[in-house]
Structure 1
Amino acid sequence: MKNIYLNTGTLNEVFNELETSFDGVLNSSNNEFKLALDTDFIKGNIDVVTFINGITSFQVNMTFLDDIALSIESPSKSSILFAYCTEGYFKHSVGISGPQSKLRKHYSAVVTSKASVNTILHFKKNTALQFSLIQVETAGLANTINDPFISHLKKTFLNNQSNFNYQGLQNLKIAKKFSQMNSISDKGMSGHVQKKDIIQSILNMEIDNHTDTLIKISRAIKRSALNHINDLKTKYSVIKNYAADSIYSKVITSKNRIFIK
């Protein structure tokens, strides 16, 4: 078992620390970081994109050659973390002795915390792992103050509870969005804008997935009522046409009888 401690800071500071500590190769430009690691106990890549509205996307593709406990300083109380696992699994706990929850393949999680306790990620030896993280910082940045999208995220995940920890099956639409993002080949501003649009569409899906149950029920009732009305209209149209056809048929038959006489 190896214990790794990662201090928080700017992305430049964090990635420079990772590059130095693990003899990695770091390339960074246009708010994007690509770190390749090849050591005796970690092999793989971390790709990160950061956006001006406080949103950061992490794509991790790793194999750990030893059991690893990664301790990360507690994020700010105004941050929201979305996680999606596409291969393998890992465990998460608040504090080294806290209860562990597993995030496995095809599952997702949303985590916020008001506690000033380190987050611990537990990785098993010889487990190939692919997962994505989206971190949203909802305060402290000038570009987030009047951003209605960030405000909507805060209202959904931060304002109504002191701690939020949800795990569920990964939305296949979200998985498809990440696949689209990974296939973007455009460089510079064009590629950056495309990635931002995809990340925000994923977060919009998360907002919709966690919208208040009463609102969802209300929407379902409205959809059911509309479907019922449309069904009645269809039935009425069928009955009306049938009645018209029936009357027409009787009139024709009556005329024929008169003619025969």
Structure 2
Amino acid sequence: MKNIYLNTGTINEVFTELETSFKGILNSNNNEFKLALDSNLIKGNIDGVTFINGITSIQASITFSDDTVLSIEPLSKSSILFAYCTEGSVKHSFGVSGHESILRKHHSAVVTSTRSINTILHFQKNIPVKLSLIKVETEEAAHANSSLISQLKKTFLHREPNYSYQGLQNLKIAEKFEQVAAVTAHGMIGHTIKKEILQSIIALEIEDNTANLIKMSRAIKRSALNQINELKKISSFITHYAVEAINNKVSIAKNRITIK
């Protein structure tokens, strides 16, 4: 079992630390980063891009040769992290002893945290993993009034102190990440195309989460109505039984009087 600790910071700092920790070769240009990995512990590639509106995307296609636990410094209270797995699976927990959830193939997850506790990722040895991450810093001045950011805050922030939501299989999101990886344009044009695709992924995540919350709310309401109906049936039965019992007692009493 390998344990690796990563500090958070700017994307440049993150990739520099990844390069050092995994002994990789890093190339960066215009806020885009490409890290090639070929060591005894890990093989694969990690690509990243960051935008001035507070959105950062990282896509990893990696295989560890040993079971590995990656401990990442706490997110800021205003950050939202989206994760999507296109191959393999990854376990996630808040802290080493926290509850573990599994991010499986073609499933997404949303993570926020208001506590100073590390995010832990568990990777199994010799299992290829393709993982895409989008981090949105909601307090960036450049997009403080954005309707998309407003929806993000309303949907995902100010919930549990450490919030983790596991979405259902969503192939639309998978297609969008494939589009990001397929962008060949360079410079400002490529940068803009990627930003538009990533924003559409975030919109899909909001839609997915909202739809599931509505379904849950409806299910809870149906359950409550069913319980109320059952209680009404029980109440009606008890009332009917009580009336019959009283009538029987009255009838018996009348019969006794008549006999006398």
Residue 148 of structure 1 deviates from its aligned partner by: 2.3
**Structure 2 Cα separation of the partners of residues 82 and 170 of structure 1:** 14
1:160 positional shift: 4.8
**Residue 214 of structure 2: aligned partner:** 213
Indicate the SS of the match to 2:3. Answer: strand
TM-score, normalising length: structure 2: 0.79
By how many angstroms is 1:94 displaced? 0.7
Which region of structure 1 is more displaced relative to structure 2, 46-55 or 202-211? 202-211
| Alpha carbons 1:4, 1:69 under 8 Å: kept | yes
The runs of 4+ residues in structure 1 deviating greater than 3 Å are: 159-163
For residues 20 and 173 of structure 1, what CA distance do their matches in structure 2 show? 35
Aligned ranges 1:74-89 → 2 under 5 Å: 74-89=74-89
Whether contact under 8 Å (1:84, 1:170) holds in the other structure is: no
- Corresponding residue number in structure 2 for 1:175: 174
Cα shift at 1:174: 1.0
Number of residue pairs the alignment of both structures matches: 215
For the 8 Å contact 1:55–1:136, the answer to whether it is kept is: yes
Tell me the C-alpha RMSD between the 2 structures.
1.6
Aligned partners of 2:115 and 2:161 also within 8 Å: no
After superposing the two structures, state which structure 1 stretch, 148-157 or 67-76, moved more: 148-157
Distance 1:98 1:160, change over 3 A: closer
Deviation at 1:161, TM superposition (A): 4.7
Q: Is the 8 A contact 1:54 1:136 kept in 2?
A: yes
Instruction: After TM superposition, give the deviation of residue 95 of structure 1 in Å.
Output: 0.7
Aligned-partner SS, 2:150: helix
Match of 1:202 in 2: 201
Residue 126 of structure 1 aligns to a residue whose secondary structure is: coil
The letter for the 2-side match of 1:115 is R
Name 2:245's counterpart in structure 1. none
Match of 2:258 in 1: none
Structure 1 distance, partners of 2:214, 2:21, is 46
Which residue of structure 1 aligns with residue 11 of structure 2? 11
1:164 aligns with 2:163: yes
Structure 2 gap ranges (5+)? 219-260
The residue type equivalent to 2:208 in the other structure is N
Superposition pairs for residues 121-200 of structure 1, below 5 Å?
121-139=121-139, 141-200=140-199
The change in CA–CA distance for 1:118 and 1:163 in structure 2 (over 3 A counts) is closer
- Equivalent pair of 1:33/1:49 in contact (CA under 8 Å): yes
The residue number in structure 1 matching 2:64 is 64
Equivalent residues in 2 for 1:28-107 (5 A)? 28-107=28-107
Shift of 1:70: 0.5
- Determine what percentage of the aligned residue pairs are the same residue: 65
**Take 1:91 and 1:136, find their aligned partners in 2: how far apart are those partners?**
21
Matches within 5 A, 1:248-259: none
Q: Distance in 2 between matches of 1:160 and 1:75?
A: 15
Q: Is the 8 A contact 2:32 2:50 kept in 1?
A: yes
Tell me the TM-score normalized by structure 1.
0.78
Distance in 2 of aligned mates of 1:173 and 1:180: 11
Please name the residue that 2:246 is paired with.
none
Q: Which residue of 2 aligns with 1:22?
A: 22
